[in-house]
Amino acid sequence: MTVAAGTGSALLGGVTLAAGNVDQFTVALDPDTTNEEIVFITASSSDTFTITRARAGTSGVQHSAGATVKHVLTSDDLNAFKLAISPVASMGFAGSTSGSTTVQATAVAGTTTLTLPAATDTLVGRATTDTLTNKTLTSPTINDAKQNLTLNAQTGTTYTFVLADNGKLVTLDNASAITVTVPANSSVAYATGAIINLQQIGAGQVTVAAAGGVTINGTGTKTRAQWSAASLVKTATDTWTLI
């Protein structure tokens, strides 16, 4: 059966359906009335449609010239769309140029894994500085991994190490004797293996003292003279070695 519509090309968005085409459009004749009938447009020629009648549970009824024709979406359309989508185990991303791919993840829910397909692939960051936070690198090869020591300059006669001193060089500069204290783990929880470097740069000799419950192992607890340096290494919960 065919029907003629005054604005058929506009209704189909300029698409022309050829006979035998697997595509179709769903429209309603006399929509939202007691005469409503859902039909499938299977072919079109200008403003004339070839249709399959009485779809989506509606019945074929008589329609008058000038009846409204309205584009609609039915459960059949949604099911067809659902069946046309096949889940895939993995997804490939294609860039605008060969070997260049940008993956943008915005408001991703849950855990997302991006797997590079081959060991020879290179993961390249943006031109600006990238930050890698709370990530574990397994057996990494890091090129040009130089790291400069951060200094913590102290000029008083007493100082207790803080958590931020891990990996730093604490310089001690005073004309009088200086005492530095290693705090208990219950006060400052350094990780086992933490290293604190210290150096006497003034005339005052430096004594390394242990807070209550802390053991410091070593051949001595004092620096020898100006410019002497030493390192403290945490070997257990409240045990340190003075090197």
Q: What is the pLDDT of residues 3-55, one digit of tens each?
A: 666 555 555 655 666 655 556 778 888 888 888 898 888 887 777 878 888 88
> Residue 12 domain-assigned?
yes
Report d(CA 170, CA 156) in Å as an integer.
Answer: 12
CB 30 within 8 A of CB 66: no
Last residue of a domain, one of 84, 106, 128: 84
In a domain, 17, yes or no: yes
Q: What pLDDT does residue 242 have?
A: 98
208 Cβ contact partners less than 8 Å away, ≥ 6 residues apart: 180, 182, 198, 216, 221, 222, 230, 232, 242
Residues 160 and 237 in one domain: yes
Structural tokens at position 217: 């192992």
Specify if 89 maps to a domain: no
- Choose one of 25, 56, 84: the last residue of a domain: 84
Residue 53 DSSP symbol? E
Residue 120 is predicted with a pLDDT of 63
What is the pLDDT at residue 219? 94
146 in a structural domain: no
Q: What is the pLDDT of residue 95?
A: 47
Task: Report CA 80 to chain centroid distance, whole Å.
Answer: 34
In a domain? residue 94: no
pLDDT of residue 206: 98
Domain tally, the chain = 2
Domain that holds residue 163: 151-242
CB 182 within 8 A of CB 211: yes
List of the chain residues with pLDDT < 70 = 1-23, 80-127
